[in-house]
Structure 1
């Protein structure tokens, strides 16, 4: 299953939803990455437009007319990022490799080739790269003190057991053989990529980290507020519990997992609250912000363990 094809067909998939400016900036960069790909046959770029009104069609078509057949537009009107991710899996056809990236990210120089080289040298089922946050406006001191946008960095070659789809290469032979898909029940809640990658690893697929394959996430001002970062912490905790419960699969194991989640979740909720109150009393922004971040994540874990579903991406 891990044997590599002699000529790896590569599809770069970028999902978009009502971000015409972002996709207009992202596509030329991805076309450039595809053109420089160290592959026997040219890599291609696949745009999945998840807006029911197909708002990205004209922008993508204009760039495709200039770039050639390596850019392809697909409209997926069903709401939810999981539906768009599944459409990307289907539209990849018989390509060996599918690489996910977000429409608001800027790939670093040689990003795609770094992913490809590590894939070929390791025979991994998936390769994950880091995401670095840059800000469209200066974050408030409170948001900065909470380290809400700090992301993991690991030595290249480190094995990981979970990943997002904002910088992820997949060996589609593994995905097809395991018949993996993104769970569309997580489409408006987030977490379908967490469940997908944990399922891949649990069934024998190795995921390795490629620290050189960096992308930059441009964080808009609307995400630099206390309300947004705390809701994101709550959603992360909620999804963590729901994914673990889903992987438990049967009633007896589900009850045991639910109990195990309630413990750490309650500890985070209580400990974070104490740290927040300490920060308020001592006028320490790091204690206050990090305490609320921990408490919000703990509340999300507890609520998820008890069956509550937080739908961050619910559309009006």
Structure 2
């Protein structure tokens, strides 16, 4: 078994971190001698250290605590990469919980497909008190994919993924710091890897539970996030070297059409109180994001210090 680093970035979420990390300690079908857990604390004060210290007392493999004071998701991930010793990096978010066979399934898929990155599903179950738009919210925070394992022609986000370190453009600091506050640093990385010929795979057996922060389980957060997701393809073209000006223009025009069409449909659905009205508002927001993608329209989701 190759050496594997399991990395959990976190910021002021000790309960979620504890659940995520303890699920890592309960993995089966893997060689613990080849594992390490890296916890990256992206708080100004070392608020996650007590959790990491407690875990280290009973962990069957090393628990490495990294304190990255500079706020930002890319800073946090890069700080963890600088301390990681694994040939492969498995990412788990601090609001996720992995079943016992999660890591073994990721590693088996990597070998089977000789993949540079393996992704798995994310399953979300909304709390009982969430009634309005429950189905939409569960789908929004979930990651669905093919029913069968296999090679992918696209990519997903970092949470619940296994990355071959040798395939990274920079094995120590691969995440773009300009995405520190708006997110999408993983999309940018995987986009560069795809352009370089990286091989992506999907493994349905490598699924995790996600329990989103309660303050995010509402349309105010998800529609803003959908708008930010929509900005992704246009921003990626703008950040290309050389700049893909034609791609930027193409995505802006597509986005404008989507925002208009889906926006009108969302308005009708809202007037009729249709059950799926949030879905269409989400699509309209993603379209608008493709068109309004530059500086003043960027929304900061990460890097808050208070």
The TM-score with structure 1 as length reference comes to: 0.88
Q: Give the structure 1 partner of residue 228 of structure 2.
A: 235
Q: RMSD over aligned Cα, in angstroms?
A: 2.2
Alignment of structure 1 residues 99-114 onto 2, 5 Å: 99-114=90-105
Q: Give the structure 2 partner of residue 206 of structure 1.
A: 199
Distance 2:170 2:184 in 1: 22
Counterpart among 300, 304, 307 of residue 289 in structure 2: 300
Q: Give the structure 1 partner of residue 26 of structure 2.
A: 32
Q: Give the structure 1 partner of residue 118 of structure 2.
A: 127
Q: Give the structure 1 partner of residue 132 of structure 2.
A: 141
CA contact (8 A) 2:81 2:171 kept: no
The CA deviation at 1:161 is 2.3
Work out whether 1:72 is the aligned partner of 2:61. no
The CA deviation at 1:180 is 6.7
CA contact (8 A) 1:262 1:305 kept: no
Alignment of structure 1 residues 1-316 onto 2, 5 Å: 7-33=1-27, 36-39=28-31, 41-67=33-59, 69-93=61-85, 95-145=86-136, 147-154=139-146, 155-175=148-168, 181-247=174-240, 249-251=241-243, 253=244, 255-286=245-276, 288-304=277-293, 308-315=297-304, 316=306
Cα deviation, 1:40-79, whole Å, max 9, x if unaligned, reads 8331111111112110011211221232552111111111
The CA deviation at 1:177 is 7.1
Note the residue ranges of structure 2 that are not aligned, 5 or more in a row.
none
1:23–1:159 Cα change, 3 Å: same
1:237–1:64 Cα change, 3 Å: same
Instruction: Give the match's secondary structure for 1:47.
Output: strand
Aligned length: 303
Distance 2:21 2:273 in 1: 46
The CA deviation at 1:39 is 3.8
Distance 2:24 2:171 in 1: 29
The CA deviation at 1:281 is 3.5
The CA deviation at 1:265 is 0.6
Distance 1:96 1:260 in 2: 39
Out of 45-54 and 303-312, give the one that drifted further. Answer: 303-312
The CA deviation at 1:143 is 4.7
CA contact (8 A) 2:183 2:301 kept: yes
1:160–1:39 Cα change, 3 Å: farther
Distance 1:140 1:313 in 2: 27
Distance 2:128 2:257 in 1: 34
